[in-house]
Copies of this chain bind each other. A is one copy, B any other.
Amino acid sequence: MQAASAAEPARLYYFHGRGRAEQSRWVLAAAEVPFVNMCLSTSAEFAALKRQGKLIFGQVPLLELDGLRLVQSQAILRHVARTRNIAGADEREQALADQLAEACSDFRSALLGLPFNGNTQACASAVQRYAPIFESLLSESRQWVAAGQGMTYADALLAEAVTGYSELFGDAWLSELPRLKAHRDRVCALPGVAAYLSSPLRFPFPAGKVAEKYVQNVSTVLS
């Protein structure tokens, strides 16, 4: 089996849901890289990927892009960022974007666990801890979180986390965080991101029956 060629859309292998692949979907969308979700439904499909040597560490997500097979969710999104010029314009911006991206992963980690543990309190704590810090990094003259002059992948990751918490809690928590709200709206209005969010590539928020089905899917594939 060949990795996807440059002419084909990138292929993102994961479960039927957001999980550890969702940040990569937002970064691909922000960079306007066409991709398709390759969703695993059975343990046999997962075993086949491993047998083909596609999963070095036996884990998904796997992204096939640029003739490469990329694993490790955070390495995947940084590859997209580096090669599509949204990793920061110079060493300083790259360092800042990188540390903010790491913090966004911390910020969203309670959302990652939510379908499995139902811990909305952890989500509320994450919002309380991180949201004011990100608010303070934004201003009238600083509309992007890591770089004065342009969007970086850290912006996509921040908007991903904010959007997720708003799907859970509504937008009320953003009422005292106007710059963060405007930032979220700005990122969601980027052509690639807007197209992604209104497409079938976007999975619904994992609550209720959606969460149950997703947890069952993950459990079946890993069994």
Q: What's the nearest-Cβ distance from chain B to residue A88, in Å?
A: 10
Which chain B positions have C-beta within 8 A of A92?
68
Given A57-B133, A133-B56, A133-B57, also A70-B99 (CB < 8 A):
yes
Give CA–CA (A101, B78) in the complex, Å. 12
Main SS of chain A's interface residues? helix
Residues of the B chain whose Cβ atoms lie less than 8 Å from the Cβ of A68? 92, 95
Q: Interface size (A, Cβ < 8 Å)?
A: 27
A187 to B137 Cα, complex, angstroms: 39
CB distance from A215 to the nearest CB of B (A): 22
A93 to chain B, nearest CB (A): 11
A43 on the B face (CB < 8 A): no
B residues near A130, Cβ cutoff 8 Å: 57
Q: Which of A72, A74, A82, A133 has the most CB of B within 10 A?
A: A72
A82 in contact with B94 (CB, 8 Å): yes
Q: Give the copy number.
A: 2
Query: CA A98 – CA B73 in complex, angstroms?
Result: 10
Instruction: Please tell me if the beta carbons of B83 and A102 are within 8 angstroms of each other in the complex.
Output: no
Between A and B, 30 residue pairs with Cβ closer than 8 Å are: A56-B99, A56-B103, A56-B133, A56-B137, A57-B103, A57-B133, A66-B91, A68-B92, A70-B95, A70-B99, A71-B99, A72-B98, A72-B99, A72-B102, A74-B74, A74-B98, A74-B102, A75-B95, A75-B98, A75-B99, A75-B101, A75-B102, A76-B99, A78-B98, A79-B91, A79-B94, A79-B95, A82-B91, A82-B94, A83-B91
Taking A68-B92, A75-B95 as given, write out 8 further A-B residue pairs in contact, using a Cβ cutoff of 8 Å, ordered by the A residue number. A56-B99, A57-B130, A74-B74, A75-B98, A75-B102, A79-B91, A79-B98, A82-B94
> Which 7 pairs from chain A and chain B are nearest by CB?
A72-B102, A75-B99, A75-B98, A72-B99, A79-B95, A75-B102, A57-B103
